[in-house]
Amino acid sequence: MPPELPAAPSRNARHDGWGTLRRFLPYLWPKDDWRLRARILGAVSLILLSTATQFILPYLLKWAVDAMNVTGPRVATFAMLFVLAYAAGRFGGVVFDNLRNIVFERVGQQATSQLAEHVFNRLHRLSLRFHLARRTGEVTKVIERGTKSIDTMLYFMLFNIAPTVILLLGVGVIFYINFGWPLVTATALAVIAYIWVTRAITEWRTKLREQMNRLDGQALSRAVDSLLNYETVKYFGAEAREEARYAEATRAYAAAAVKSENSLGLLNIAQALVTNLLMAAAMALTVRGWVRGEYSAGQLVFVQTYLTQLFRPLDMLGMVYRTIRQGLIDMADMFRLIDTEIEVQDATGAPALVIGRPTLTFDNVVFGYEPDRTILKGLSFEVPAGHQVAIVGPSGAGKSTIARLVFRFYDPWQGRILIDGQDIRTVTQASLRAAIGIVPQDSVLFNDTIGYNIAYGRDGAGQAEVEAAARGAALMDLIGRLPQGFDTEVGERGLKLSGGEKQRVAIARTLVKNPPILLLDEATSALDTRTEQDILATLHSVAEGRTSLSIAHRLSTIADADTILVLSDGQLAEQGDHQALLKRGGLYAEMWARQAEAIEEYGQAAE
């Protein structure tokens, strides 16, 4: 079957076929794998054997029919032998074709897996900006269609187009030898007309299919988005609203699909007209020659058999053209993903980060997500080794942006971020991220077991390390109550666990990683007061002896920090410990008073 179309193809996608093919060839002819090359050569040899068999078959049938027009036992024997040879040749052609498929299958699968791995690796190296801007459903659909198109394109290009070209040339030579230029000319004109009609209508259909599959991608993305936000839909009673949005997208897709399928019927009719006109003309020419005594009865069968063999791949030419054309569009879309610029890259020859004293320094950092909106405006501060520093401030002050910059999801526009005096832009990202652990505000877990999610903190972590981390995160009571223990499935995004349980798993995962620098990004803001206090006690224990940077919304959670940094409008407004900042009577004192007042009002309302 032809591969599906991309969700949102570029309007120029149909014009970059040769460039896409050049990008694709290295996957087809791998430089470092002679076994796969040998398989390709073996498949080509079987193609030639199969094509040679097709050239012989019409001669065998012609000789059998001509022999039947002559009486005599020896002639009957020859006719029988020709018929048996014809049947054996047909069987041989099937054997050659299927052996070709068996030999080539590993090549197609290898090319598919290599390209899929390449794209997947590339996606993980693209910036956070890219992933925030793209819909996950659309990206995965592009990858799925692009990889699926490889095997189909390989099959049709090698096993349909190449044999068809050889067959066309061979039939032209045979027709010239047996019938002269008139039949050769008629066949050539019919083939040219067939190709022109197929290409013209298929180009028109491609636009219809692009529209159809853009709507298909839209319907898919709406479905994925709605299901990922299942709780939000339920919270607002928006099931009917979501169903209406999805129905709108599917109905638009259905209307476009009807147009596309109707255009296919028109294409098939036009193709059938060309091929049957050629068949009628060729057979009429043969009958006319037979009436004049120029041709034998066997030559009518001879011409009919060759044209039938020629029409078989020509009948598929429209589908083959559409499939290859669409495959090129699918692959071009996928190659555009590969070609997406990596915003944050390691410097050439960058060394690994070496930490003696895990200090963290922001030196006059300027940054914004968009050119016209600056978030951090010359921010400077230092987190000394072994100290616990907290960052607070109103919403939009740039607190969470600091965490993203420390992990180097983005690079600052100006200034430097230093760890132990080393600019993080000059070291490898892998070594940088290996030195930092994070407990995020929303701890999203893999749809796997508790043990898997804890062990995810470090590749190769053993069961003893996982258990020690679970004890350190105060998880053992929970795990002891679960019938399957560490093998308990947490569900998609960890939804089978409570907020506090997810946070403890995230803490345990960080303990397995055992980093010298710990970043707590509002790790308790989504928890109730009791759970928050339990988690805070665990976090304080985890942060002991490490350099930690806590980004907090609730000031009570960081009141015991060594230093508190108060941000306002992307700049450092105040700094000091809790008591010093309260005595100062500035922004921190105002925020503390407001939160205390809110807590008091909440308590009175509860009473």
Express each pLDDT in 73-91 by its tens digit: 666 777 778 778 888 888 8
DSSP of 71-84:
-SHHHHHHHHHHHH
Average pLDDT for 106-115:
74
Answer yes or no: are the C-beta atoms of 453 and 490 closer than 8 Å. yes
pLDDT score recorded for residue 416 = 92
Residues of the chain with pLDDT > 70: what percent? 86
Answer yes or no: are the C-beta atoms of 5 and 210 closer than 8 Å. yes
Name the range with the highest mean pLDDT among 284-293, 372-381, 523-532. Answer: 372-381
pLDDT tens for 472-520 read: 887 888 888 888 888 888 877 667 777 778 888 888 888 888 888 888 8
Q: What's the angle, vertex CA 325, arms to CA 319 and CA 331, rounded to 5? A: 130
Residue 367 pairs with which residues in a beta bridge?
A: 376
d(CA 214, CA 232): 26
d(CA 72, CA 66): 13
Q: What's the angle, vertex CA 211, arms to CA 226 and CA 14, rounded to 5? A: 120
Of residues 122 and 188, more confidently modeled = 188
Which DSSP symbol is given to 556? Answer: G
pLDDT score recorded for residue 365 = 92
pLDDT score recorded for residue 6 = 35
Output the furthest CA–CA distance in the chain (Å, rounded): 124
Q: In a 10 Å sphere around its CB, with 0-12 CB exposed, 13-18 middle and 19+ buried, how is residue 192 labelled?
A: exposed
d(CA 553, CA 397): 11
Cα 146 to chain centroid, rounded:
8
Collapsed DSSP state (helix, strand, coil) of residue 563: strand
pLDDT tens for 310-332 read: 777 776 766 777 677 777 777 77
Looking up tokens 């995020």 gives: 440
Closest CA to 413 of 378, 459, 380: 378
Count how many Cα atoms sit within 13 Å of the Cα of residue 552 in the half-sphere of its side chain: 27
Is 60 exceeded by the pLDDT of residue 16? Answer: no
Is 70 exceeded by the pLDDT of residue 133? Answer: no
Collapsed DSSP state (helix, strand, coil) of residue 571: strand
Is 90 exceeded by the pLDDT of residue 366? Answer: yes
Of residues 452 and 106, more confidently modeled = 452
Sign of torsion, CA 116 117 119 123? positive
Mode of pairing for the β-strands spanning 563-568 and 571-576: antiparallel
DSSP of 64-114:
HHHHHTS-SHHHHHHHHHHHHHHHHHHHHHHHHHHHHHHHHHHHHHHHHHH
pLDDT band at 249 (very low <50, low <70, confident <90, very high): confident
Edge-first strand order for the sheet with 414-419 is 376-383, 360-367, 414-419, 422-423
Domains along the sequence of the chain with CATH: 13-218+254-339 (1.20.1560.10), 349-435+515-607 (3.40.50.300), 442-513 (3.40.50.300)
Collapsed DSSP state (helix, strand, coil) of residue 591: helix
pTM of the model: 0.60
Is 80 exceeded by the pLDDT of residue 522? Answer: no
Average pLDDT across the chain, whole number: 78
Collapsed DSSP state (helix, strand, coil) of residue 473: coil
d(CA 485, CA 477): 10
pLDDT score recorded for residue 532 = 65
pLDDT tens for 215-230 read: 777 787 788 778 878 7
